[in-house]
Amino acid sequence: MGVPTTKTALRALLGAHGITPRRLRGQNFLVDRNLVAAILREARVQATDCVLEVGTGPGILTDGLARAAGCVVTCDVDAPLLAVAREARAWPPSVLFLAEDVLAGKHRLNPTVVGAWLGERDRRGLEALRVVANLPYAVATPFLANLLWAGLPARDALVLVQREAADRFVARPGTAAYGPMAVAVALFCRARVVRDVGPRVFWPEPKVSSALLALEFRDPAGAAALRARGLERLLAEAFLHRRKMLRSRIPAERLARAGVPGTARPEEVAPEAWVALLPPPT
C-alpha cells in the first residue's frame, strides 16, 4: 500500500472503502506528483517548522510534508477519509492526524486544531508555525480570514485555493474583486499568486481553475488589535452595501478625520484609510 498519486489509484482506494468525494465539502483531491513537488519547493519546509495542513484528503501532500517538516498537524472533517489516509503508509510520529473541522463557526478557528498546532511546536521545540495546504474550496476564505485576524504567530501560508478567491485576496482598490479580504491582506501580509493551477491535477476535476497563493504574515498582533477595535466588522458592514456612499454609514467627523470624501464608495477606499475610519480607541 502507499499514498495514491494517480487518479486511477485514488479511485480504486476510495472505492474499496466505499468513499465518494463530496462536492459540498469541496473535496477535489490533489493527485499530481509534479505539482506536489512544486509546492514543496516553493514552501521550503524545514525540520524546524510545525506545519498545519487543512484538508488531509488521501494524504499526498501530507506525505511530502512529513518528509521535510519537524511536525505536521493535519486535519480533515471527513473522519472515514482521514482513516484511509492514516492507513495508507507507516507515518512517522511527527505527523498528527485530527478528525476535526478547522473552523468552529464562521468567525472562529477550532481551538482543538489551533491548540494542537501550537502545542506540537512548543513540545518539540520547533521554531516556525506555517500553513501548507490544498484547501477545500468550502473553507478556504473563512479559514484564511480567521487566520489573518486571530493574531496567531504564524509565519506564512502557501495554499491552493479557487482562482476567484485568490483574486479577492490580492485585489487593488477600485476593482470589482476588492473587498474585506483584500483590505486585511494588504494591511497584514505580503501576498502573491505563485501560479495558476488547472483542473486536471485534481480528482474529481473541479469546474473552475485554482491558484497557488502565498501569504507572508507581517503583523499578527496588530491584526488582532484592529479586530478588537472593530475593523473586521466595519469592513463587513461597509462592503455589504458596496455601491452606497460612505456618508450613509460613517459619521462625517470620522470621514473628515480620515481624509475620505463622504461620496466615496467602499471599493474606492485604500486599506490604510479604513484604519483611519475607525472610532478613536477608548
Each residue's pLDDT, cut to its tens digit, for the chain (282 residues) gives 689 999 999 999 999 999 999 887 888 999 999 999 999 999 999 999 999 999 999 999 999 999 999 999 999 999 999 999 999 999 999 999 999 999 999 889 999 999 999 999 999 999 999 999 999 998 999 999 999 999 999 999 999 999 999 999 999 999 999 999 999 999 999 999 999 999 999 999 999 999 999 999 999 999 999 999 999 999 999 999 999 999 999 999 999 999 999 999 999 999 999 999 999 887
Q: Which distant-in-sequence residues (6+ apart) come within 8 Å of 274 by Cβ? A: 183, 187, 231, 234, 235
What pLDDT is stored for residue 223 in this prediction?
A: 96
Helix (H) / strand (E) element for 231: namely helix 231-240
The domain locations on the chain are 7-220, 230-276
Here the cell at position 54 is: 487543512
Q: Which sign does the torsion angle of CA 164, 36, 142, 231 carry? A: negative
Side chain identity, residue 178 = Y
In the chain, beta strands by DSSP E: 29-30, 49-54, 71-75, 95-98, 128-134, 154-162, 189-197, 202-203, 210-217
Here the cell at position 134 is: 490544498
* Distance from C-alpha of 17 to C-alpha of 19, rounded to nearest angstrom: 6
Side chain identity, residue 137 = Y
How far is residue 168 from each of residues 11, 73, 197, 206, 266, measured CA to CA in Å? Answer: 33, 27, 16, 19, 14
Phi, psi (deg, nearest 5) at residue 127: -105, -60
* Distance from C-alpha of 244 to C-alpha of 271, rounded to nearest angstrom: 18
How far is residue 15 from each of residues 7, 21, 138, 206, measured CA to CA in Å? Answer: 12, 10, 23, 19
Any idea which residue has 478588537 for its cell?
228
What pLDDT is stored for residue 38 in this prediction?
A: 97
What pLDDT is stored for residue 1 in this prediction?
A: 64
What pLDDT is stored for residue 22 in this prediction?
A: 86
* Distance from C-alpha of 125 to C-alpha of 49, rounded to nearest angstrom: 10
Evaluate whether 7-220 and 230-276 have a shared fold: no
* Distance from C-alpha of 266 to C-alpha of 241, rounded to nearest angstrom: 8
> Read out DSSP for 51-100?
EEEE--TTSHHHHHHHTT-SEEEEE-S-HHHHHHHHHSS---TTEEEE--
How far is residue 14 from each of residues 23, 33, 41, 122, 201, measured CA to CA in Å? Answer: 15, 18, 28, 35, 17
Here the cell at position 55 is: 484538508
Q: Which sign does the torsion angle of CA 198, 199, 200, 203 carry? A: positive
Q: Which distant-in-sequence residues (6+ apart) come within 8 Å of 239 by Cβ? A: 179, 180, 266, 267
* Distance from C-alpha of 194 to C-alpha of 56, rounded to nearest angstrom: 22
Superfamily of domain 7-220: Vaccinia Virus protein VP39 (3.40.50.150)
230-276 — its CATH code? Answer: 1.10.8.100
What pLDDT is stored for residue 282 in this prediction?
A: 73
